Structure formats: structure tokens, C-alpha cells
């Protein structure tokens, strides 16, 4: 099973993200979604982790199922919220035993109810990154926020913190965003700090404006007025909204590839239709594995 660091070194990647289902019926639905996306031959898939470690078992179930039942390389999300070092050692050992080689080490969100909070030996994601790296045999990724982490005090601090994490990790995957400029600026600012490791942009095709706006606000991103204006033409028609959302995601993905992005990471929300349509629009099945054309991200000057 492939390490994501090796996949990125070999050429452009295309990957999909899922969240662990809460019910058995949702589990079956996710299985259908993965089956629908599998013919696209994704480089890897990732599985998220609930607030405060609340989906620990279901995340492990989905990740190991992908590892054992498909030919796709899985990446497990892991957060420092609500975990002791001994618990993380156990989680990593279970993944190692299952043949899982890829971990996305994150800060994570606290549970909504403080009464549900569990003890943690970590204060910052960087501490978890160091711990996973010390395990020695995982390809380690971290999160990046093109429009800054919502808890960052300022841009300079945000970028220095991310650069420090990437000095230890192998790659980063970004929170979703909707315009090219924030991504290019992020990559250039990291280059100014001496970081040239792959930063894979995250793409979320908009199929529900209110839902994505809420998610964007929570993650420190913003849905640009130009995007909202285009979506407004759909009115209350969900199918028209989806078509416009796919169009916007296709345009952004093409611009990112032209700018030299090392891959595309699609936030699927456990549904396949919009992602499959963007994939088809870009003709990714026939575009080969070479990095995006142009490679014009800049020289590191911001």
C-alpha cells in the first residue's frame, strides 16, 4: 500500500475525503459512494475524525475497510483533542497492524458539550505531528488554511506555525477555498520561509449554499461574493445550484492545476455525483500523472 509522500513525489494526485458515518445505514451509503468513486482510480482517500475524538472507532473501521477491501491507499485523520500519548500509541499500532501507512495529524475541534471533553496530553497539533513522526513508519500530513486558521492571531504567526509543522511532516492538505489567489499566496509565503513540500489544495463543490457557508465560517474561510452571486441565479432550485457549484469547482481546479498544484483533494461530504462531474469535466482520467501545467506559483515573493 502506497505512502502519500511517495505518491506526491511521483506526480499529481487526485484524492477524496469522507467522514465516518454515524449509523449502519449511513455506513452502507458510504460504501456505495466509495464504490462509485473507485473507478476514478484515486491516489488516496482520507477519513475524518470527530470533535474530541468522538468517531475514533468508526474512523478506524472505515480506514481499515478501505485498506482491506479496496486497492485505494487510505489516510486516517487523527486529532490531539481528547487523547493521551498512550492512546495515540495504541491507535498508531492498530493502524500499523492493519497496514495503514498514512496519517493526517490535526489539532481538531473540542466537543460541543464541555462535559464530553476527555483528557489530552497535547495542546497543539505540532505536538501530535512530532509524536506520529517519532513512530517512524507513517507518511505524515498536516492541515493548511489558505485564509488563515480561525484561531491564528495574525498571518505571520499562522504561516510560521504551519512552516514549523511542515518541517516535520511530509505534506499539507488545505481547508477548502473558492478562489486561486489564497492558495498561491499561501504557497509563496511558505516558500519565503523555506518550505517547498507539497501543499495539496482542498476543493468542495458547492451543492448546498447554506451548508457550505456554515462550514466555511467555522474553518476561517469565506465564500466570496462573486461565488454567491453566481449561485444566487439558481434561486431555490437544488439541481441548478449543484450544476453551478460543479462549474465553479471545475474552474478553480483547472486554475490550480495550471498553477502547478501537486494534486487535488475533493471534500465529498460522502456523496459522489458532484466530484465525479468535476473529475469528468477536467478529463482527469486521460490527463496522465504529470504535475499540473504551467508551474507558475511564483518564486516565493509575496
Instruction: Give the β-pairing of 263-267 and 13-18.
Output: parallel
Residues of the domain holding 109: 4-286
Asked, for residue 241, whether it belongs to a domain, the answer is: yes
Residue 109 lies in a domain: yes
- What is the pLDDT, as a whole number, of residue 217? 78
Q: Tell me which residues are annotated as active site.
A: 17
Residues of the chain with pLDDT under 50: 289-302
Asked if residue 151 belongs to a domain, the reply is: yes
- Write down the pLDDT at residue 301: 36
Q: Give a yes or no: residue 8 inside a domain.
A: yes
Angle between helices 125-134 and 85-98 (to 10 degrees): 50
User: Which residues neighbour 65 within 8 Å (Cβ) at sequence distance 6 or greater?
Assistant: none
CATH code assigned at 119: 3.20.20.220
Quote the pLDDT of residue 220: 72
Residue 266 burial (CB < 10 Å; 0-12/13-18/19+)? Answer: buried
Q: How far is residue 35's CA from residue 24's CA, in Å, rounded to a whole number?
A: 17
What does the pLDDT look like over 120-138, one tens digit per residue?
889 889 999 999 999 888 9
**pLDDT tens digits for range 174-230:** 999 999 999 999 999 999 999 999 999 999 999 998 888 888 877 777 889 999 999
- State residue 66's pLDDT score: 92
Q: Say if 118 falls within a structural domain.
A: yes
Interaxial angle between packed helices 56-69 and 85-98, expressed in degrees from 0 to 180 and rounded to the nearest 10? 20
- Domain total in the chain: 1
- Say if 291 falls within a structural domain: no
Amino acid at each position: 500500500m502506497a505512502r502519500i509522500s511517495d505518491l506526491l513525489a511521483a506526480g499529481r494526485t487526485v484524492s477524496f475525503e469522507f467522514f465516518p458515518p454515524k449509523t449502519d445505514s449511513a455506513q452502507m451509503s458510504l460504501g456505495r459512494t466509495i464504490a462509485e468513486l473507485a473507478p476514478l482510480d484515486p491516489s488516496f482517500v482520507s477519513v475524518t475524525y470527530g470533535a474530541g475524538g468522538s468517531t475514533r472507532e468508526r474512523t478506524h473501521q472505515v480506514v481499515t475497510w478501505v485498506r482491506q477491501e479496496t486497492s485505494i491507499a487510505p489516510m486516517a485523520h487523527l486529532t490531539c483533542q481528547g487523547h493521551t500519548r498512550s492512546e495515540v500509541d495504541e491507535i498508531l499500532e492498530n493502524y500499523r497492524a492493519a497496514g495503514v501507512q498514512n496519517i493526517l495529524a490535526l489539532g481538531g475541534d473540542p466537543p460541543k458539550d464541555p462535559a464530553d471533553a476527555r483528557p489530552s496530553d497535547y495542546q497543539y497539533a505540532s505536538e501530535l505531528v512530532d509524536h506520529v513522526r517519532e513512530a517512524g513508519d507513517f507518511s505524515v500530513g498536516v492541515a493548511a488554511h489558505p485564509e488563515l486558521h480561525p484561531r491564528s492571531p495574525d498571518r505571520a504567526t499562522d504561516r510560521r506555525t504551519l512552516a514549523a509543522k511542515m518541517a516535520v511532516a511530509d505534506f499539507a492538505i488545505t481547508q477548502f477555498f473558492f478562489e486561486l489567489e489564497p492558495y498561491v499566496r499561501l504557497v509563496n509565503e511558505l516558500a519565503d520561509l523555506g518550505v517547498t513540500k507539497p501543499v495539496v489544495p482542498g476543493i468542495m463543490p458547492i451543492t448546498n449554499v447554506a451548508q457550505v457557508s456554515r462550514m466555511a465560517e467555522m474553518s476561517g474561510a469565506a465564500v466570496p461574493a462573486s461565488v454567491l452571486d453566481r449561485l444566487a441565479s439558481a434561486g431555490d432550485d437544488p439541481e441548478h445550484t449543484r450544476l453551478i457549484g460543479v462549474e465553479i469547482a471545475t474552474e478553480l481546479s483547472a486554475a490550480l492545476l495550471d498553477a502547478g498544484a501537486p494534486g487535488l483533494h475533493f471534500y465529498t461530504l460522502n456523496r459522489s455525483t458532484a466530484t465525479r462531474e468535476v473529475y469528468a469535466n477536467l478529463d482527469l482520467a486521460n490527463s496522465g500523472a504529470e504535475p499540473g501545467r504551467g508551474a507558475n506559483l511564483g518564486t516565493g515573493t509575496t
